Amino acid sequence: MSERVESALQSAAFAGSIEGIAPEDSHALSFALARARDFAVAPISNFRVGALAVGASGSCYLGANMEFIGVPLNASLHAEQSALCNARAHGEQAVRLLIVSELPCGHCRQFLQELWDAPNLEIRVGEHAKTLAALMPNPFAQIRTEGQSLLDSPLQKLKFSEAGPGGSEQSLIEAAAMSYTPYSQSPEGVLLETTTGKRFTGNAIESIAFNPSIPPVIAALNQKNLSFSRKETVNRCLHARLGTSLNHSFALTEAIMGGVDGIPVERFLMECTE
Ligand SMILES: [Zn+2]
Q: Are 82 and 226 in contact (CB under 8 A)?
A: yes
Extents of the domains making up the chain: 2-135, 158-272
40 C-alpha to center of ligand 1: Å? 13
Share the mean pLDDT of the chain. Answer: 95
d(CA 174, CA 187): 11
Over the stretch 211-252, which tens digit does the pLDDT of each residue have?
999 999 999 999 999 999 999 999 999 999 999 999 999 999
d(CA 273, CA 159): 6
82 C-alpha to center of ligand 1: Å? 10
103 C-alpha to center of ligand 1: Å? 8
216 C-alpha to center of ligand 1: Å? 18
CA distances from 202 to 3, 184, 221, 272 (A): 30, 18, 8, 18
273 C-alpha to center of ligand 1: Å? 36
127 catalytic? Reply is no
Reduced to 3 states (helix: H, G, I; strand: E, B; else coil), residue 147 is coil
The β-bridge relationship of strands 266-272 and 158-160 is antiparallel
Q: Does domain 2-135 have CATH number 3.40.50.1360?
A: no
Where is 52: in which H helix or E strand? strand 50-55
pLDDT of 167 strictly over 80: no
Which among 199, 201, 265 is positioned nearest to 238, based on CA atoms?
265
pLDDT of 206 strictly over 80: yes
d(CA 70, CA 67): 10
Q: Are 234 and 223 in contact (CB under 8 A)?
A: no
DSSP, residue by residue, 4-54:
HHHHHHHSTT--SEE----TT-HHHHHHHHHHHHTT-B-TTT----EEEEE
Residue 91: CB atoms within 10 Å = 12
166 C-alpha to center of ligand 1: Å? 38
Over the stretch 87-126, which tens digit does the pLDDT of each residue have?
999 999 999 999 999 999 999 999 999 999 999 999 999 9
pLDDT of 143 strictly over 90: no
The identity of residue 226, as a single letter, is L
139 C-alpha to center of ligand 1: Å? 15
Q: Are 153 and 182 in contact (CB under 8 A)?
A: yes
Evaluate whether 2-135 and 158-272 have a shared fold. yes
Instruction: Name which CATH class applies to 158-272.
Output: alpha beta
Which among 63, 109, 106 is positioned nearest to 84, based on CA atoms?
63
pLDDT of 202 strictly over 80: yes
Over the stretch 4-61, which tens digit does the pLDDT of each residue have?
899 999 999 999 999 988 888 889 999 999 999 999 999 999 999 999 999 999 999 9
Q: Which of 3, 67, 80, 206 is catalytic?
A: 80
The β-bridge relationship of strands 234-242 and 266-272 is parallel
d(CA 193, CA 223): 12
The whole-number average pLDDT for the span 69-84 is 97
The whole-number average pLDDT for the span 67-92 is 97
> Given this model, what pLDDT does residue 163 score?
79
